[in-house]
Amino acid sequence: MKLGLFGINTGVCAQPEVAVRVARAAEEAGLESVWTGEHAVLPDPQVPPSPAPPRHPMLDPAACLGFLAGQTQRLRLATGIVILPQRNPLLLAKEMASVDVLSGGRLVLGVAAGYLEPEFRALGVPFAGRGPRTDEAIDVLRAVWTQEKPHFSGAHFRFEGVDAYPRPLQQPHPPIVVGGHSAPAFRRAVSRGNGWYGFFQGLEATEACLAGLETAAKQVERPAALGALEISISPPPGLDADRARRYQDLGVERLVPVPAARDLDDWLRAVEESAALGEALR
């Protein structure tokens, strides 16, 4: 079981000195990864389903992970997730290839279609059709990272006669983890993802999502080059060794707890707890 921590770019970790302390402590404790969240803007005032107040600090994922790349040596640096249809995929490919190079090949790129309509509206991005744009954008990332002469022609993105270096260090590219709990997200993960990520999913919800992935696997083809679909979960509070083993029995390969941390001390305790959990699972 791989163990990570979610939220390295948000809340108190939006303070660079705190993020560095937490990331270094996680690395020293033997944790596998730290994960960022993303919302470019948040509704003001906060309205459901917005996850945080409008003044909640949240660093840009690429900037945060690029910064932490120079402060760590082994820790995997993950996005959980980037809201892909809000991004130009060529620009994102450049940003994330840069993070992979700066980190020596430690990026995990989590992406999803997003769910917060006011955010899309503010950014001038259509909320409708975000799923197909997400699918195409994943294909664009792979094209620009792996093709000798990158080109793409789709309904939403088209390019040829361009290239972008440096390429990511990881070959053929950094793992792409698809987030989301809907049937389209499950099909996207099966057909395009190296992994699937479920955020804040309890045991019963995780079991239901895994059933959804099994159904999707009967509906869409999974390219052999993607390998087995790696399952990552951010569980609700209350994770202990017994519950972690139950996740493991379901087929979960990575747990990424979300600490209820208000300050640096809380975060450091969360690192210690996750390290102790890892020991208990060995």
Q: What is the pLDDT of residues 192-233, one digit of tens each?
A: 999 999 999 999 999 999 999 999 999 999 999 999 999 999
Residues in the chain: 282
**Could you give the CA distance from residue 86 to residue 119 in angstroms, rounded to a whole number?**
9
Q: What is the pLDDT of residues 103-114, one digit of tens each?
A: 999 999 999 999
pLDDT of residue 24: 98
User: For the chain, which domains are there?
Assistant: 2-281 (3.20.20.30)
3-class secondary-structure state, position 69? helix
| Cβ proximity of 249 and 237 under 8 Å | no
Strands 254-255 vs 230-234: parallel, antiparallel or unpaired:
parallel
* Residue 282 banded pLDDT, cuts 50, 70, 90: confident
Across 74-135, the runs of DSSP E, i.e. the strands, are 76-83, 107-112
* Residue 162 banded pLDDT, cuts 50, 70, 90: very high
Instruction: Give mean pLDDT, residues 121-133.
Output: 98
